[in-house]
Amino acid sequence: MKKYLLPSIKLTALLILLCAVLYPLLIAGIARLAPGQGKGETLTVNGKVVGYENIGQKFTEDKYFWGRPSAVDYNAAGSAGSNKGPSNPEYLKTVQERIDTFLVHNPGVHKEDIPSEMVTASGSGLDPDISPAAAVIQVKRIANVRGLNEKTLLDLVAKHTEGPLAGILGPSKINVLKLNIDLDKLNK
């Protein structure tokens, strides 16, 4: 085994150079041509950065569309799911509380109609999206708070609905931050 030691050490040094130094630099170089230059794509309002397109944000005020519950409170310094097992009684209590909170803030909505994604935490705690159904169910609340008519809001939701990839692959979704940025523009 000893005779392999020196070649192993030399080979290791060369491969560190190739795989850990040159390769990431090459990718960083390629990424400079990409949108956001490889630093993450940001969204701005009046020239001020208000967030990252792909990173969900916490919305608790009634005037905004809410995103999903988060195990890290939407602080993207970290990321995590709740990792609660499906039968955990403590977990089911949390879900019950989320249902209650949602009903209090959305008078007129029936419990049966709440999409499960609105009372379950996402995998990353940073999920930027909700489904179209989860947006539509919040329209009534927002229309009341903002004094807008529901039709305008439903149109906005429809405009922000991104269909499946290439029209046929995967789910439809809505980016909550982008939706709320446009929502703020309606009142101006």
- For residue 162, the cross-strand partners are 173
Instruction: Assess 34 for contact with other proteins (CB under 8 A).
Output: yes
Q: Which is nearer to other proteins, 32 or 151 (CB)?
A: 32
Query: Which residues have C-beta within 8 Å of that of residue 47, sequence separation ≥ 6?
Result: none
Distance of closest approach, residue 2 Cβ to other proteins, in angstroms: 8
Amino acid at the residue 102: F
- CB contact at 8 A, 124 and 83: no
Q: Which value, to the nearest 10 degrees, does the dihedral of the CA atoms of residues 131, 172, 124, 61 take?
A: -30
Please give the size of the binding site for other proteins, defined by CB under 8 A: 103
Task: Please give the full DSSP string across 91-129, using - where no structure is assigned.
Answer: HHHHHHHHHHHHHHHSTT--GGGS-GGGSS--SSS---E
Q: Taking CB under 8 A as the criterion, which residues in 135-154 touch other proteins?
A: none
Distance of closest approach, residue 49 Cβ to other proteins, in angstroms: 6
Instruction: Assess 10 for contact with other proteins (CB under 8 A).
Output: yes
Q: Which is nearer to other proteins, 13 or 158 (CB)?
A: 13
Q: Contact with other proteins (CB under 8 A): which of 46, 104, 180, 187? A: 180
Interface region with other proteins, contact rule CB under 8 A, candidates 140-148, 149-157, 177-185:
177-185
Instruction: Assess 186 for contact with other proteins (CB under 8 A).
Output: no
